[in-house]
Chains A and B, each alone.
Chain A
Amino acid sequence: MTVDADKRFPAAGRITWRDIGASETGVAVVVLAIFALLPMVVSGYPIYILPQYMLFGMMAMSLGLMWGFVGILSFGQAGFFALGAYTMGLAMHTNWGINPAYVGLLLSLVVGGTLAAVVGYFLFSAGVRATYFVLVTLALSIMVEQVAVSQSEITGGWNGMFIDRMSLTFGPLGDVPLFDDAPAYYAVLPVVALSYVLLRWLVSARFGKILAGIRENEDRMTALGYNISVHKTRAFALSGAIACFAGALYGTHANFVAPSLGGVLFSTEVVVWVAIGGRHSLLGALLGGILVASLSNYLSTVTPEYWQLVLGLIFIAVIVFFKGGVAGAVAQLPRLWRTGRQP
């Protein structure tokens, strides 16, 4: 190659999740603590809206898992998210003797995981390239949107579907309705935190090492006897299940779902969040989702026309100059500090 991108853009490309993993835990504890204490300081709208953005962040983590740790990008993550919301909406009408919301949450894991597993295995087993996978997932999110629009008897079609707020039921111990802001907040936060911890644990466990190995060198892993397509499928199924679960919670929190929730525009917005937050860091993805969504909300009232443009330019800058996103840049700071002090 005549032009070496790494030489031209020295910051690009040289960050991996290893740099980030070490310093991330501390930051994560602080961030989660702040989120846990926030409702004591703030009330009203921020406490209402943050759970929705945390669930966006959870979806972003599900993408971060695929993109940063398996090296496969999905342009259809919002498809799973919307699927979860619809599953929740339909499950809310069940009457099986248990809390219908629990049915919805459980079903969303099953539905999202199964769909992702089927699509994933179908494609990975043929060794479909990562770039084609992007296109297939893009088409997938278009299809989710189209099916949601056309199956109006089930989904309410383009006009959308109402979903009641769920209640937590503890059998004989009683119920906790989640209608108010703070209870809803404290119901969503642990879920998001737990999914973060679970994913962190998974990527640092043997499973994560195998995924990293696949990302770095598929042939070598095959030679070592690993079934690559099965591992990729597992990761994608997990990713789909998490996005779908987050979507189910989102649906019951927002009380409403419409087909465009699964559409291409939202799906690719998730990609932008993760790129900016940091594709090699789960915390980066989570915070990328929360912060960019919050900023979009705030700035769209200030400057609706230019905000999307600025976001697009930031996206370009991240890919060209800071491949690791904000998390990557932050993770580099201590290293720069150290190298600066060691002459």
Chain B
Amino acid sequence: METAVSVVVDATLITLILALAAFGLAIIYGLVGVINMGHGAFLTLGAYLTWAATTAGVPFVPAVLLAALGVGLVGLALEHLIIRHFYDRPFDTLLLTWAFFLVMTEIIKIVFGTDFRNVASPLAGAIDLGTVKIPIYRATIALVSLALIGGTAFVFYRTTLGIKIRALIQNREVASLLGLDIALMYKLVFGVGACAAGLAGGLISPMLSVDPYIGNVFLVRSFFVVIVGGVGQLLGGTLIGSFFIGGSETLFALFSKQVFAQTVVFLLAIIVLRFRPAGLLRAR
């Protein structure tokens, strides 16, 4: 029983944190259709900017917000300079964002150096539930993740602005006939996605070593989250995908070696992708 409870808790935490890491990708891929291979670099940059800000004396929460803003701006610049010319060629955006990843990683190394950096956890300690201990910071992040994803999904699905954006994106011809500014909407969504990735990088930074490769760990996992959950399914898709990729890894790890758990989950993700290319949530 003890294990059962703690497995559920662990799986929940992992799911929500992975969802947070994948969310920026879900926005950009899901809404503007760009396979953003630079997502890992957004995460890394968010973590480094948070580190830089906290080192300069900025308290943690504003530091993370600053980092998110900074990454959002970088995302906007990337979109404006390059990506917007290639929206009709998803394959080229894939390559370009990968190139962005390569370049950004090198810039990060040159600017911030390659030493391990650490961001002190702003909330130390753990909640003791008798049988299970939950680190306060992780629990908080999980809640933030839930709130962020829920909130954003709410904006996109329930508010006029969100519905407008989605309508514009889903039916470009009609929208452009109506004279609406699609280019601006794309830019906005791309920026918001980058911003979300930066926020995630910042929030994750106290849990991980901040090094130039911090984002790599999440890149492929994030993609599988989005694809397995269903492209464009911001709320349910991200959560289900994260549970499938992250949570189930925890469950598999109960019975096998970690490395098998990872490999099995990747294999399962590929199989899902084969038979449900539109994701688990969307019927074909």
* Any A–B CB pair closer than 8 Å: yes
Interface size class of B (residues with CB under 8 A): 35 or more
Distance in angstroms between the alpha carbons of A313 and B270 in the assembled complex: 32
In the complex, B116 has a CB within 8 A of chain A? no
What is the minimal beta-carbon distance from B43 to any residue of chain A, in angstroms? 16
Known A139-B270, A147-B263; judge A275-B95 contact (CB<8 A). yes
Q: Across the interface, do A135 and B223 meet the contact criterion of CB distance under 8 Å? A: yes
Known A139-B220, A275-B95; judge A132-B277 contact (CB<8 A). yes
Distance in angstroms between the alpha carbons of A282 and B260 in the assembled complex: 38
What is the minimal beta-carbon distance from B251 to any residue of chain A, in angstroms? 19
What is the minimal beta-carbon distance from A264 to any residue of chain B, in angstroms? 8
Q: Across the interface, do A316 and B82 meet the contact criterion of CB distance under 8 Å? A: yes
How many residues of A are in contact with the other chain, CB < 8 A? Answer: 43
Mark out the residues of chain B between 74 and 129 whose CB falls within 8 Å of any chain A CB in the assembled complex: 82, 84-92, 94-96, 98-100, 102-103, 106-107, 109-110
Mark out the residues of chain A between 118 and 161 whose CB falls within 8 Å of any chain B CB in the assembled complex: 122-123, 126-132, 134-136, 138-139, 142-143, 146-147, 149-150
- The digit string for A314-327, where 1 denotes a CB below 8 A from any CB of B, is 01100110000000
What is the minimal beta-carbon distance from B180 to any residue of chain A, in angstroms? 11
Give the secondary structure class of B's interface: helix
Q: Across the interface, do B95 and A132 meet the contact criterion of CB distance under 8 Å? A: no
Give the secondary structure class of A's interface: helix
Distance in angstroms between the alpha carbons of A123 and B183 in the assembled complex: 34
Q: Across the interface, do B266 and A2 meet the contact criterion of CB distance under 8 Å? A: no
Distance in angstroms between the alpha carbons of A130 and B91 in the assembled complex: 8
In the complex, B262 has a CB within 8 A of chain A? yes
Cβ contacts A to B, 22 pairs, < 8 Å:
A1-B87, A5-B88, A73-B94, A123-B274, A126-B274, A132-B227, A132-B277, A135-B35, A135-B220, A139-B270, A143-B267, A146-B262, A146-B263, A264-B220, A305-B109, A306-B110, A308-B106, A309-B107, A311-B102, A315-B95, A315-B102, A319-B96
Instruction: Report which A residues bind B (CB closer than 8 A).
Output: 1-3, 5, 8-9, 73, 122-123, 126-132, 134-136, 138-139, 142-143, 146-147, 149-150, 264, 268, 271-272, 275, 305-306, 308-309, 311-313, 315-316, 319-320
Instruction: Report which B residues bind A (CB closer than 8 A).
Output: 35, 82, 84-92, 94-96, 98-100, 102-103, 106-107, 109-110, 172, 176, 182-183, 216, 220, 223-224, 227, 257, 259-260, 262-263, 266-267, 269-270, 273-275, 277
